[in-house]
Structure 1
Amino acid sequence: MKRCAWAMKTPRLQQYHDDEWGVPQYTDQGLFEILGFEIFQAGLSLDLVLQRRLTLQKALVNFEIDQLAGFSEQQQRNFLTNPAVIRNQQKLEAVIHNARRWQAQQLHGFSPADQLWFLQQQCHAYVDRLSVSTEDLFTEQTWQLFDSWGLVRVGPATVQWFLRAAGFVNGHEANCDRFENQMIGPYH
Protein backbone atom coordinates (compact mmCIF):
# COMPACT_ATOMS: atom_id res chain seq x y z
CA MET A 1 0.00 0.00 0.00
CA LYS A 2 1.24 3.47 -0.89
CA ARG A 3 0.89 5.94 1.98
CA CYS A 4 1.57 9.59 2.69
CA ALA A 5 5.29 10.08 3.44
CA TRP A 6 4.63 11.14 7.05
CA ALA A 7 2.88 7.82 7.73
CA MET A 8 5.83 5.66 6.67
CA LYS A 9 8.04 6.40 9.68
CA THR A 10 6.58 3.96 12.24
CA PRO A 11 3.99 1.19 12.38
CA ARG A 12 1.94 3.36 14.78
CA LEU A 13 1.78 6.17 12.21
CA GLN A 14 0.89 3.69 9.46
CA GLN A 15 -2.00 2.29 11.47
CA TYR A 16 -3.28 5.77 12.35
CA HIS A 17 -3.05 6.82 8.70
CA ASP A 18 -4.72 3.66 7.38
CA ASP A 19 -7.51 3.32 9.95
CA GLU A 20 -8.39 6.79 11.23
CA TRP A 21 -6.78 9.80 9.64
CA GLY A 22 -9.12 11.41 7.16
CA VAL A 23 -12.14 9.26 7.99
CA PRO A 24 -15.13 11.63 8.18
CA GLN A 25 -16.46 12.20 11.69
CA TYR A 26 -20.04 13.36 12.12
CA THR A 27 -20.60 13.52 15.87
CA ASP A 28 -19.81 16.34 18.25
CA GLN A 29 -17.98 13.89 20.48
CA GLY A 30 -15.85 12.46 17.68
CA LEU A 31 -14.96 15.90 16.35
CA PHE A 32 -14.18 17.30 19.78
CA GLU A 33 -11.87 14.39 20.54
CA ILE A 34 -9.96 15.00 17.31
CA LEU A 35 -9.71 18.71 18.08
CA GLY A 36 -8.46 18.01 21.60
CA PHE A 37 -5.94 15.53 20.23
CA GLU A 38 -4.72 18.10 17.68
CA ILE A 39 -4.32 20.70 20.44
CA PHE A 40 -2.12 18.30 22.39
CA GLN A 41 -0.25 17.32 19.23
CA ALA A 42 0.62 20.91 18.21
CA GLY A 43 4.38 21.39 18.25
CA LEU A 44 5.07 17.74 19.06
CA SER A 45 5.77 14.62 17.06
CA LEU A 46 2.55 12.91 15.99
CA ASP A 47 4.16 9.57 16.79
CA LEU A 48 4.90 10.70 20.37
CA VAL A 49 1.31 11.83 20.88
CA LEU A 50 -0.03 8.57 19.43
CA GLN A 51 2.30 6.69 21.78
CA ARG A 52 0.65 8.45 24.74
CA ARG A 53 -2.82 8.53 23.28
CA LEU A 54 -4.50 5.85 25.41
CA THR A 55 -3.14 7.35 28.62
CA LEU A 56 -4.14 10.82 27.46
CA GLN A 57 -7.66 9.62 26.62
CA LYS A 58 -8.02 7.94 30.00
CA ALA A 59 -6.72 10.98 31.91
CA LEU A 60 -9.08 13.25 29.93
CA VAL A 61 -12.15 11.02 30.36
CA ASN A 62 -12.06 10.06 26.65
CA PHE A 63 -12.39 13.74 25.74
CA GLU A 64 -16.04 13.47 26.84
CA ILE A 65 -17.33 17.02 26.41
CA ASP A 66 -19.61 17.25 29.44
CA GLN A 67 -17.11 15.64 31.80
CA LEU A 68 -14.25 17.84 30.59
CA ALA A 69 -16.41 20.94 30.89
CA GLY A 70 -16.82 20.09 34.57
CA PHE A 71 -13.18 19.12 35.17
CA SER A 72 -12.25 20.07 38.73
CA GLU A 73 -9.07 21.71 39.97
CA GLN A 74 -8.14 18.38 41.58
CA GLN A 75 -8.58 16.54 38.28
CA GLN A 76 -6.35 19.12 36.61
CA ARG A 77 -3.67 18.67 39.30
CA ASN A 78 -3.88 14.90 38.94
CA PHE A 79 -3.45 15.22 35.19
CA LEU A 80 -0.43 17.52 35.51
CA THR A 81 1.33 15.14 37.91
CA ASN A 82 0.78 12.06 35.71
CA PRO A 83 4.13 11.24 34.04
CA ALA A 84 2.42 9.11 31.36
CA VAL A 85 0.57 12.01 29.72
CA ILE A 86 1.69 15.15 27.94
CA ARG A 87 1.88 17.46 30.95
CA ASN A 88 1.22 20.85 29.42
CA GLN A 89 -0.96 23.07 31.56
CA GLN A 90 -1.81 25.50 28.74
CA LYS A 91 -2.99 22.69 26.46
CA LEU A 92 -4.95 21.09 29.29
CA GLU A 93 -6.64 24.38 30.17
CA ALA A 94 -7.39 25.00 26.49
CA VAL A 95 -9.10 21.61 26.07
CA ILE A 96 -11.19 22.19 29.22
CA HIS A 97 -12.09 25.72 28.13
CA ASN A 98 -12.96 24.48 24.64
CA ALA A 99 -15.16 21.71 26.08
CA ARG A 100 -17.17 24.41 27.85
CA ARG A 101 -17.45 26.53 24.70
CA TRP A 102 -18.33 23.46 22.57
CA GLN A 103 -20.97 22.53 25.13
CA ALA A 104 -22.43 26.05 24.89
CA GLN A 105 -22.69 25.67 21.11
CA GLN A 106 -24.60 22.41 21.56
CA LEU A 107 -27.29 24.29 23.46
CA HIS A 108 -28.10 26.43 20.41
CA GLY A 109 -29.88 23.59 18.60
CA PHE A 110 -27.46 23.52 15.65
CA SER A 111 -24.66 21.26 16.88
CA PRO A 112 -21.01 22.08 16.26
CA ALA A 113 -20.81 19.01 13.99
CA ASP A 114 -23.79 20.24 11.95
CA GLN A 115 -22.30 23.73 11.77
CA LEU A 116 -18.95 22.42 10.55
CA TRP A 117 -20.42 20.11 7.90
CA PHE A 118 -22.73 22.90 6.71
CA LEU A 119 -19.74 25.25 6.48
CA GLN A 120 -17.85 22.60 4.52
CA GLN A 121 -20.76 22.41 2.05
CA GLN A 122 -20.80 26.20 1.69
CA CYS A 123 -17.05 26.34 1.06
CA HIS A 124 -17.34 23.72 -1.68
CA ALA A 125 -20.13 25.75 -3.28
CA TYR A 126 -18.09 28.98 -3.28
CA VAL A 127 -14.67 27.64 -4.19
CA ASP A 128 -15.52 27.42 -7.89
CA ARG A 129 -16.08 31.19 -7.93
CA LEU A 130 -12.88 32.04 -6.06
CA SER A 131 -9.20 31.60 -6.82
CA VAL A 132 -8.44 29.69 -3.61
CA SER A 133 -8.42 26.02 -2.75
CA THR A 134 -11.30 24.46 -0.86
CA GLU A 135 -8.90 23.54 1.96
CA ASP A 136 -7.57 27.10 2.28
CA LEU A 137 -11.04 28.61 2.28
CA PHE A 138 -12.45 26.03 4.68
CA THR A 139 -9.46 26.37 7.04
CA GLU A 140 -9.94 30.14 7.18
CA GLN A 141 -13.70 29.90 7.64
CA THR A 142 -13.38 27.21 10.33
CA TRP A 143 -10.73 29.22 12.17
CA GLN A 144 -13.11 32.21 12.19
CA LEU A 145 -16.01 30.01 13.33
CA PHE A 146 -13.94 28.60 16.19
CA ASP A 147 -12.91 32.11 17.13
CA SER A 148 -16.58 33.18 17.23
CA TRP A 149 -17.27 30.26 19.58
CA GLY A 150 -14.44 31.45 21.83
CA LEU A 151 -12.19 28.41 21.31
CA VAL A 152 -8.52 28.82 22.17
CA ARG A 153 -5.24 27.31 20.90
CA VAL A 154 -6.82 26.59 17.53
CA GLY A 155 -4.68 28.57 15.12
CA PRO A 156 -4.67 27.98 11.37
CA ALA A 157 -2.18 25.07 11.49
CA THR A 158 -4.14 23.23 14.20
CA VAL A 159 -7.39 23.87 12.33
CA GLN A 160 -5.89 22.58 9.08
CA TRP A 161 -4.73 19.34 10.72
CA PHE A 162 -8.07 18.98 12.48
CA LEU A 163 -9.95 19.31 9.17
CA ARG A 164 -7.71 16.73 7.54
CA ALA A 165 -7.87 14.28 10.45
CA ALA A 166 -11.66 14.61 10.74
CA GLY A 167 -12.23 13.99 7.03
CA PHE A 168 -13.50 17.43 6.06
CA VAL A 169 -10.79 17.82 3.42
CA ASN A 170 -8.57 15.32 1.66
CA GLY A 171 -5.11 15.81 3.10
CA HIS A 172 -3.61 12.67 1.56
CA GLU A 173 -0.71 13.07 -0.82
CA ALA A 174 -1.47 12.48 -4.49
CA ASN A 175 0.61 9.27 -4.60
CA CYS A 176 -1.16 7.83 -1.53
CA ASP A 177 -3.64 5.03 -2.20
CA ARG A 178 -6.18 6.79 0.01
CA PHE A 179 -6.00 10.05 -1.98
CA GLU A 180 -8.45 8.96 -4.66
CA ASN A 181 -10.59 6.83 -2.36
CA GLN A 182 -11.22 9.28 0.46
CA MET A 183 -14.85 10.26 0.89
CA ILE A 184 -15.28 13.81 2.06
CA GLY A 185 -18.31 14.07 4.24
CA PRO A 186 -22.00 13.96 3.42
CA TYR A 187 -21.79 16.79 0.90
CA HIS A 188 -19.05 15.40 -1.36
Structure 2
Amino acid sequence: MSVNDGVSNQDNRTDTGLVIGEDGLVRPVWAATDPLLREYYDTEWGMPVRDEQGMFERLSLEAFQAGLSWVTILRKREAFREVFAHFDPDQVAQFGEDDVARLMSDARIVRNRAKINAAITNAQATLELRDAGGLADFVWSFQPEETPRPRSIHEVPSTSPESVALSKALRKKGFAFVGPTTMFALMEAVGIIDTHVLGSHRRGSSGVWRHHRSPA
Protein backbone atom coordinates (compact mmCIF):
# COMPACT_ATOMS: atom_id res chain seq x y z
CA MET A 1 0.00 0.00 0.00
CA SER A 2 1.27 3.44 -0.92
CA VAL A 3 1.31 5.89 1.96
CA ASN A 4 -0.24 8.47 -0.36
CA ASP A 5 -3.26 6.19 -0.84
CA GLY A 6 -6.39 8.26 -0.41
CA VAL A 7 -4.65 11.66 -0.09
CA SER A 8 -6.48 14.35 -2.03
CA ASN A 9 -4.84 17.07 -4.08
CA GLN A 10 -5.89 19.57 -1.44
CA ASP A 11 -3.95 17.58 1.18
CA ASN A 12 -1.05 17.44 -1.22
CA ARG A 13 0.02 21.10 -1.05
CA THR A 14 2.46 22.26 1.59
CA ASP A 15 1.60 20.54 4.85
CA THR A 16 3.09 17.37 6.29
CA GLY A 17 -0.01 15.31 5.68
CA LEU A 18 -0.25 14.58 9.41
CA VAL A 19 -3.25 15.25 11.63
CA ILE A 20 -3.91 14.96 15.34
CA GLY A 21 -6.73 12.58 16.12
CA GLU A 22 -9.36 12.85 18.80
CA ASP A 23 -7.20 10.53 20.90
CA GLY A 24 -4.31 13.00 20.65
CA LEU A 25 -2.21 10.73 18.43
CA VAL A 26 -0.57 12.00 15.24
CA ARG A 27 -1.30 10.05 12.07
CA PRO A 28 -1.16 10.66 8.31
CA VAL A 29 -4.42 11.81 6.80
CA TRP A 30 -4.99 8.49 5.04
CA ALA A 31 -5.11 6.71 8.41
CA ALA A 32 -7.00 9.35 10.35
CA THR A 33 -10.67 8.87 9.48
CA ASP A 34 -11.64 5.40 8.31
CA PRO A 35 -11.70 3.12 11.40
CA LEU A 36 -10.40 0.14 9.43
CA LEU A 37 -7.42 2.05 8.05
CA ARG A 38 -6.72 3.58 11.44
CA GLU A 39 -6.66 0.16 13.13
CA TYR A 40 -4.40 -1.21 10.40
CA TYR A 41 -2.03 1.75 10.72
CA ASP A 42 -1.96 1.65 14.52
CA THR A 43 -1.42 -2.08 14.93
CA GLU A 44 -0.06 -3.72 11.80
CA TRP A 45 1.38 -1.57 9.02
CA GLY A 46 5.16 -1.47 9.23
CA MET A 47 5.46 -4.18 11.86
CA PRO A 48 7.94 -6.97 11.05
CA VAL A 49 6.62 -10.03 9.24
CA ARG A 50 9.17 -12.82 9.18
CA ASP A 51 7.17 -16.00 8.58
CA GLU A 52 6.49 -17.55 5.20
CA GLN A 53 2.69 -17.60 5.37
CA GLY A 54 2.49 -14.03 6.65
CA MET A 55 4.82 -12.81 3.92
CA PHE A 56 2.92 -14.69 1.23
CA GLU A 57 -0.35 -13.14 2.40
CA ARG A 58 1.09 -9.63 2.33
CA LEU A 59 2.66 -10.17 -1.09
CA SER A 60 -0.64 -11.53 -2.43
CA LEU A 61 -2.73 -8.69 -1.03
CA GLU A 62 -0.33 -6.05 -2.35
CA ALA A 63 -0.66 -7.62 -5.80
CA PHE A 64 -4.45 -7.61 -5.59
CA GLN A 65 -4.33 -3.96 -4.51
CA ALA A 66 -2.61 -2.80 -7.71
CA GLY A 67 -4.86 -0.18 -9.29
CA LEU A 68 -7.24 -0.15 -6.33
CA SER A 69 -7.40 1.56 -2.95
CA TRP A 70 -5.89 -0.26 0.00
CA VAL A 71 -9.06 0.11 2.07
CA THR A 72 -10.87 -1.92 -0.60
CA ILE A 73 -8.46 -4.79 0.04
CA LEU A 74 -8.74 -4.47 3.83
CA ARG A 75 -12.52 -4.69 3.62
CA LYS A 76 -12.20 -7.89 1.61
CA ARG A 77 -9.30 -9.34 3.61
CA GLU A 78 -11.25 -11.90 5.63
CA ALA A 79 -12.96 -13.14 2.47
CA PHE A 80 -9.55 -13.37 0.77
CA ARG A 81 -8.26 -15.42 3.68
CA GLU A 82 -11.25 -17.73 3.54
CA VAL A 83 -11.12 -18.47 -0.17
CA PHE A 84 -7.30 -18.64 -0.37
CA ALA A 85 -6.94 -21.19 2.46
CA HIS A 86 -5.63 -18.49 4.82
CA PHE A 87 -2.80 -18.00 2.32
CA ASP A 88 -1.20 -21.33 3.09
CA PRO A 89 1.25 -21.63 0.16
CA ASP A 90 1.09 -25.43 0.18
CA GLN A 91 -2.67 -25.36 -0.39
CA VAL A 92 -2.80 -22.42 -2.80
CA ALA A 93 -0.06 -24.00 -4.93
CA GLN A 94 -2.45 -26.89 -5.61
CA PHE A 95 -5.28 -24.69 -6.89
CA GLY A 96 -6.49 -25.64 -10.38
CA GLU A 97 -8.97 -24.40 -12.95
CA ASP A 98 -11.95 -25.31 -10.75
CA ASP A 99 -10.52 -23.14 -8.00
CA VAL A 100 -9.94 -20.27 -10.42
CA ALA A 101 -13.56 -20.55 -11.56
CA ARG A 102 -14.69 -20.61 -7.92
CA LEU A 103 -12.69 -17.50 -7.13
CA MET A 104 -13.85 -15.68 -10.24
CA SER A 105 -17.47 -16.21 -9.18
CA ASP A 106 -16.96 -14.94 -5.62
CA ALA A 107 -18.06 -11.29 -5.43
CA ARG A 108 -16.50 -10.88 -1.98
CA ILE A 109 -12.97 -10.65 -3.42
CA VAL A 110 -11.28 -8.88 -6.34
CA ARG A 111 -12.27 -10.96 -9.34
CA ASN A 112 -9.28 -10.42 -11.59
CA ARG A 113 -8.16 -13.58 -13.36
CA ALA A 114 -4.59 -12.40 -13.89
CA LYS A 115 -4.19 -11.57 -10.21
CA ILE A 116 -5.79 -14.83 -9.10
CA ASN A 117 -3.49 -16.81 -11.38
CA ALA A 118 -0.55 -14.79 -10.06
CA ALA A 119 -1.41 -15.75 -6.48
CA ILE A 120 -1.35 -19.42 -7.45
CA THR A 121 1.88 -19.00 -9.41
CA ASN A 122 3.44 -17.16 -6.48
CA ALA A 123 2.42 -19.90 -4.07
CA GLN A 124 4.21 -22.42 -6.27
CA ALA A 125 7.26 -20.15 -6.47
CA THR A 126 7.17 -19.77 -2.69
CA LEU A 127 7.49 -23.54 -2.29
CA GLU A 128 10.47 -23.53 -4.64
CA LEU A 129 12.15 -20.82 -2.57
CA ARG A 130 12.27 -23.04 0.51
CA ASP A 131 15.48 -24.61 -0.70
CA ALA A 132 17.01 -21.11 -0.74
CA GLY A 133 15.96 -20.18 2.79
CA GLY A 134 12.32 -19.32 2.20
CA LEU A 135 10.26 -16.37 1.00
CA ALA A 136 10.50 -14.28 4.17
CA ASP A 137 14.28 -14.44 4.43
CA PHE A 138 14.59 -13.82 0.70
CA VAL A 139 12.49 -10.64 0.86
CA TRP A 140 14.25 -9.43 4.01
CA SER A 141 17.64 -9.90 2.33
CA PHE A 142 16.83 -6.73 0.35
CA GLN A 143 16.65 -4.55 3.46
CA PRO A 144 18.58 -1.34 2.76
CA GLU A 145 21.32 0.05 4.98
CA GLU A 146 19.20 3.11 5.77
CA THR A 147 15.50 3.83 5.94
CA PRO A 148 13.77 6.97 4.68
CA ARG A 149 13.10 9.80 7.14
CA PRO A 150 10.20 11.63 5.47
CA ARG A 151 9.16 14.94 6.99
CA SER A 152 5.84 14.79 5.14
CA ILE A 153 3.87 12.13 3.34
CA HIS A 154 4.90 13.81 0.11
CA GLU A 155 8.55 12.97 0.75
CA VAL A 156 7.84 9.23 0.89
CA PRO A 157 9.13 7.59 -2.30
CA SER A 158 7.16 4.96 -4.18
CA THR A 159 10.17 2.89 -5.25
CA SER A 160 13.78 2.41 -4.22
CA PRO A 161 16.86 0.69 -5.63
CA GLU A 162 16.13 -2.19 -3.26
CA SER A 163 12.51 -2.57 -4.37
CA VAL A 164 13.66 -2.59 -8.00
CA ALA A 165 16.23 -5.26 -7.17
CA LEU A 166 13.70 -7.31 -5.20
CA SER A 167 11.24 -7.11 -8.08
CA LYS A 168 13.82 -8.38 -10.55
CA ALA A 169 14.96 -11.14 -8.21
CA LEU A 170 11.44 -12.39 -7.54
CA ARG A 171 10.61 -12.37 -11.24
CA LYS A 172 13.68 -14.55 -11.85
CA LYS A 173 12.29 -16.92 -9.22
CA GLY A 174 9.00 -17.19 -11.11
CA PHE A 175 6.86 -14.66 -9.23
CA ALA A 176 4.29 -12.43 -10.94
CA PHE A 177 2.71 -9.06 -10.10
CA VAL A 178 5.83 -8.06 -8.18
CA GLY A 179 6.69 -4.73 -9.79
CA PRO A 180 9.02 -2.25 -8.05
CA THR A 181 6.18 -0.09 -6.69
CA THR A 182 4.30 -3.10 -5.36
CA MET A 183 7.49 -4.40 -3.77
CA PHE A 184 8.19 -1.03 -2.17
CA ALA A 185 4.71 -1.12 -0.65
CA LEU A 186 5.41 -4.64 0.58
CA MET A 187 8.68 -3.54 2.16
CA GLU A 188 6.81 -0.74 3.93
CA ALA A 189 4.05 -3.05 5.11
CA VAL A 190 6.30 -5.75 6.59
CA GLY A 191 8.77 -3.46 8.36
CA ILE A 192 11.76 -3.76 6.05
CA ILE A 193 11.75 0.03 5.78
CA ASP A 194 10.11 2.62 8.04
CA THR A 195 8.27 5.26 6.04
CA HIS A 196 6.19 6.56 8.91
CA VAL A 197 6.44 10.33 8.67
CA LEU A 198 8.56 11.99 11.34
CA GLY A 199 6.13 13.11 14.02
CA SER A 200 3.73 10.19 13.57
CA HIS A 201 3.06 8.24 16.75
CA ARG A 202 4.06 5.08 14.90
CA ARG A 203 7.50 6.24 13.75
CA GLY A 204 10.07 3.68 14.93
CA SER A 205 7.41 1.33 16.31
CA SER A 206 8.77 -1.72 14.47
CA GLY A 207 12.05 -1.66 16.36
CA VAL A 208 13.86 -2.69 13.19
CA TRP A 209 15.68 0.62 12.83
CA ARG A 210 16.26 1.34 16.49
CA HIS A 211 20.00 0.83 16.17
CA HIS A 212 20.39 2.21 12.65
CA ARG A 213 21.34 5.76 11.83
CA SER A 214 19.52 7.43 8.98
CA PRO A 215 20.38 10.65 7.19
CA ALA A 216 18.68 13.75 8.57
Structure 1 counterpart of 2:53, one-letter code: Q
Match of 1:144 in 2: 168
- Structure 2 CA distance, aligned partners of 1:174 and 1:61? 38
Report the identity percentage. 29
- Structure 2 CA distance, aligned partners of 1:119 and 1:186? 18
Across the aligned residues of Structure 1 and Structure 2, the Cα RMSD in angstroms comes to 2.0
Structure 2 unaligned blocks of 5 or more: 1-24, 147-156
* Greater helix fraction, Structure 1 or Structure 2: 1
Match of 2:153 in 1: none
1:118 partnered with 2:137: no
Structure 1 counterpart of 2:136, one-letter code: A
Aligned residues of 2:47 and 2:205 also touching (Cα < 8 A) = no
Tell me the CA shift for residue 81 of structure 1: 0.5
Aligned residues of 1:28 and 1:112 also touching (Cα < 8 A) = yes
Deviations 1:126-145 (A, max 9, x none): xxxxxxx9x72321221122
- Structure 2 CA distance, aligned partners of 1:9 and 1:53? 19
- Structure 1 84/115 Cα, relative in aligned 2: closer, same or farther at 3 Å? closer
- Structure 2 CA distance, aligned partners of 1:177 and 1:94? 36
Q: What are the residue-to-residue correspondences of 1:1-188 with 2, within 5 Å? A: 1-106=25-130, 108-120=131-143, 123-124=144-145, 136-184=160-208
Structure 1 counterpart of 2:51, one-letter code: T
Match of 1:128 in 2: none
Q: Which runs of 4+ in 1 moved over 6 A?
A: none
Tell me the CA shift for residue 186 of structure 1: 10
Structure 1 counterpart of 2:58, one-letter code: I
Q: TM-score, normalised by structure 1?
A: 0.86
Aligned residues of 1:117 and 1:185 also touching (Cα < 8 A) = no
Structure 1 unaligned blocks of 5 or more: 126-132
Structure 1 counterpart of 2:50, one-letter code: Y
Structure 2 counterpart of 1:37, one-letter code: L
Structure 2 counterpart of 1:82, one-letter code: D
- Structure 1 CA distance, aligned partners of 2:77 and 2:201? 26
- Structure 1 85/14 Cα, relative in aligned 2: closer, same or farther at 3 Å? same
Structure 2 counterpart of 1:119, one-letter code: F
Residue aligned with 1:178, SS:
coil
- Structure 1 or 2, whichever has the larger Rg, is 2
- Structure 2 CA distance, aligned partners of 1:45 and 1:26? 25
Structure 2 counterpart of 1:73, one-letter code: E
